[in-house]
Amino acid sequence: MKSWRAQVLVCAGAGCVSSGCAGVYNAIVEKIKEHGLSEEVRVIETGCLGSCNMGPLALVNPEGILYMKLTPADAGDIVLQHLVQGQPVERLMYKDPATGKAIAKMEDIDFFKLQQKIVLRNCGLIDPKNIDDYLERDGYKALEKVLLNMSPEEVIETLINSGLRGRGGAGFPTGLKWKFTHQAAKTPKYVVCNADEGDPGAFMDRSVIEGDPHSVLEAMAIAGYTIGANQGYVYIRAEYPLAIERLTWAIDQARERNYLGKNIFGSGFDFDINIKIGAGAFVCGEETALLASIEGKRGEPRPRPPFPAVEGLFGCPTLINNVETYANIPAIILNGADWFARFGTEKSKGTKVFALAGSIENTGLVEVPMGTPLYDLVYKIGGGLKKDKKFKAAQTGGPSGGCIPEKYINIPVDYESLAQIGAIVGSGGLIITDEDTCIVDFARFFMEFTQNESCGKCPPCRIGTKRILEILIRITQGRGKEEDLDRLRELCYNIKDTALCGLGQTAPNPVLTTLKYFEDEYLEHIRDKRCRANVCKRLTKKAGVKISN
Amino acid sequence: MSHACMCSSPNEEELYPLVDQVIEKYRGNPKELITVLHRIQKLFDYLPRQALEKVSDGLGMSLNEIHGVASFYSFFSMVPKGRHSIKVCLGTACYVKGGQKIVEHLEKKLAVHVGGTTQDRRFSLDEVRCIGACGLAPAVLVNDDVYAKVEPDKVEEILSKYE
């Protein structure tokens, strides 16, 4: 491959696209031409670098210097000062919030320094539209290793030993899932990738597909070989047009180079992948509903067992994993189970990608070892709360998750620790709220979401979430009664125990955790007709003033 | 509430040969129903009944079944939409950052409720659940353009770009 004196990587994740990175990219390309550098400096549009609120971003290699909040007008300085004269442009660098000093290198900025990138190993470093970039970073080497040197049993053993667990939210051991599907007798079998990232506040899967689509395709082909399938499907949300476009290109390129198709690496193994586009139904993230949707039906879940490993797509054994889970796999195959198991905690191995959003300074996508304290995510990587704001709660796991209060700010973020306090890691949405968020209204927001998205098949979810929502609305309007809180808890536990699928069973979590940790705020609404965040319009902000309805 | 004319315009008539082409590719294959509905909605921006009747014949399934699937998914619309679609993100991050205020502002500005279309069919207003631009909340989608960190007073400027 051609070697370049320098590379300018312009972030073209969806976040930077909406901040106007295309204009910045074009301006840099134009200036490079003007200065006659087209043969020595390569400019590429790359996947998400992670720090969305600093966008549009550009990283200049080999020095690793990060420029932020760029406009097309900045292109001239970057090219002339930095690339021609060798003087990095200080005014476009990140400024340390404490000292105000410019930090030149990306790796020295706290937001990036504390991260450990396995899933996002290529995001922001390669051109996702160019398969050669992926190949240069050991792309498809794991598939080659598996097809030529490993038995399916060895792949399964590696995954089991690595301790990798499903990143979609449930945390089921991935190796076991592969083992069960491998053992199923019926054929044909299918490999499915769940890219229906429906949790509001989560965009890690979108970024992986937009920034490094081949890592998912490679892992799916490895899965196909391991379980004995020749066909894969990626089920992806219609709301992610850019991801769909890049995935389509990636599949075409992989077919051209015969990483997909017949007789891959001359091994006699055939595998192909097709895209299925969702149509806007949250419940389709649940695996049985997702399969129904691929089959062209209403996306309604069904009881398990039988699990998809035994009876899945078109009634055949099917392996379903989430995007982030797949993206780990080529790295595990190449570096070994022990390498992967070194990261994380005893029971939660590896890393997790979180989407940091809400009322914090640095929003964006971060990847940290499992077990990283919540404090580090919020304050060291996230840069703390927005100016003058006070931490109220960290909401994890989307509408299935919970609100973590300040007293647990040091909790290690892993499957077990969060489950102990009633929250979940979930798919990795992490939203920080401050005193401007009313906790009762926040619970109402999530319940309205699940109520809207309930498919209506089972009564606990269809009717139960409706009753919870009615009570919450009543409380936010100042018409709540104290006994409502017991009624809420009872409803929540009943739904948890009796709903048909994961959506229903976890729907009460936001209500239960807020009741557990913020009961005083509920009681203020009910007894004092007061909303301290001043969100509930029919209530008053100050204590002690009552209004009548 | 206004009722837009539901009869098909001359432009729509011209699209039906394309509908036939889509259906031909998936003839007799109900498993591809959602793919077919996506293609048809791409042509018309909604799913006209006449086109669904053709799908019913072509894939060999009843209009009832097709309606059951189409109405299940929020992406599909069986009524005509405006020329430009405004979707306000109400994912958690956008909600926390004031997405609801944007919705209320747009409702007032356009004199429609969420789910509605302006009388001149210039805009349709909808809420969406997380478009994954959480780092830039609150976000608004107009057609395929994402607007980040939208404030109510920026709304007018955004709308003026769409005729």
* pLDDT tens profile A498-549: 999 999 999 999 999 999 999 999 999 999 999 999 999 889 877 655 454 4
CA proximity to A198, closest of A324, A287, A300, A284: A284
Please say whether the beta carbons of A296 and A140 come within 8 A: no
Residue B62's identity, in one-letter code, is S
Query: Which residues on B lie below 8 Å from A300 (Cβ)?
Result: 72
DSSP H helical segments within chain B, as ranges?
Answer: 10-25, 33-44, 49-59, 63-72, 92-96, 99-110, 155-159
Residues of chain A with CATH 1.20.1440.230: 439-528
- Would an 8 Å CB–CB cutoff place B146 in contact with chain A? yes
Q: Locate the chain A residue with the closest alpha carbon to B66.
A: A297
Residues of chain A with CATH 3.10.20.600: 351-434
Domains assigned to chain B = 12-72 (1.10.10), 84-161 (3.40.30.10)
This prediction's pTM? 0.94
CA distances from residue B127 to A123, A223, A398, B124, B140 in whole angstroms, order as listed: 30, 37, 18, 10, 9
Residue-wise pLDDT for A224-276, tens only, equals 999 999 999 999 999 888 899 999 999 999 999 999 999 999 999 999 999 99
Residues of chain A with CATH 3.40.30.10: 6-108
Contacts (Cβ under 8 Å, ≥6 apart) of A371 = A344, A345, A348, A412, A413, A414, A417
**What secondary structure letter does DSSP report for A393?**
E
| Closest chain A C-alpha to B142 CA, distance in angstroms | 11
A427 or A491, which is more confident: A491
Residue-wise pLDDT for A310-347, tens only, equals 999 999 999 999 999 999 999 999 999 999 999 999 99
Whether residues B34 and A364 touch (CB distance < 8 A) is answered with no
Query: Which residues on A lie below 8 Å from B129 (Cβ)?
Result: 198, 200, 282, 449, 453
Query: Which residues on B lie below 8 Å from A240 (Cβ)?
Result: 131-132
Confidence of residue B146 (pLDDT cuts 50, 70, 90): confident
CATH code for A439-528? 1.20.1440.230
Q: Which value, to the nearest 10 degrees, does the dihedral of the CA atoms of residues A79, A85, A88, A89 take?
A: -60
Residue-wise pLDDT for B48-77, tens only, equals 999 999 999 999 999 999 999 999 999 999
Residues of chain A with CATH 3.40.50.11540: 131-341
Class of domain A351-434 as given by CATH: alpha beta
* Greatest alpha-carbon span in chain A: 78
CA angle A215, A216, A222 (to 5 degrees): 90
**What secondary structure letter does DSSP report for A351?**
E
Please say whether the beta carbons of A366 and A381 come within 8 A: yes
Class of domain A131-341 as given by CATH: alpha beta
**What secondary structure letter does DSSP report for A361?**
S
Confidence of residue A1 (pLDDT cuts 50, 70, 90): low
Residue-wise pLDDT for A366-404, tens only, equals 999 999 999 999 999 999 998 889 999 999 998 999 999
For chain A, positions 202-221, list CB contacts with chain B under 8 A: 202-203, 206-207
Residue-wise pLDDT for A52-111, tens only, equals 889 899 999 999 999 999 999 999 999 999 999 999 999 999 998 889 999 999 999 999
Please say whether the beta carbons of A368 and A351 come within 8 A: yes
Residue-wise pLDDT for A171-193, tens only, equals 999 999 999 999 999 999 999 99
- Would an 8 Å CB–CB cutoff place B140 in contact with chain A? no
Which ipTM did the prediction report? 0.90
For chain A, positions 340-359, list CB contacts with chain B under 8 A: 355-359
Tokens 């073209």 sit on residue: A12
Q: If you average pLDDT over every residue of chain A, what do you get? A: 94
- Best of B45, B55, B92, B129 to substitute, by most chain A Cβ atoms within 10 angstroms, is B92
User: How far is it, in rounded angstroms, from Cα A370 to Cα A345?
Assistant: 6
pLDDT above 90 for B160: yes
SS3 B92: helix
Whether residues A299 and B137 touch (CB distance < 8 A) is answered with no
CATH code for A6-108? 3.40.30.10
Q: Which residues pair with A434 in a beta bridge?
A: A391
Q: Locate the chain B residue with the closest alpha carbon to A13.
A: B133
CA distances from residue A234 to A404, B66, B96 in whole angstroms, order as listed: 33, 23, 31
A432 token code pair: 């920080």
Please say whether the beta carbons of A394 and A404 come within 8 A: yes
pLDDT above 80 for B132: no
User: How far is it, in rounded angstroms, from Cα A521 to Cα A541?
Assistant: 12
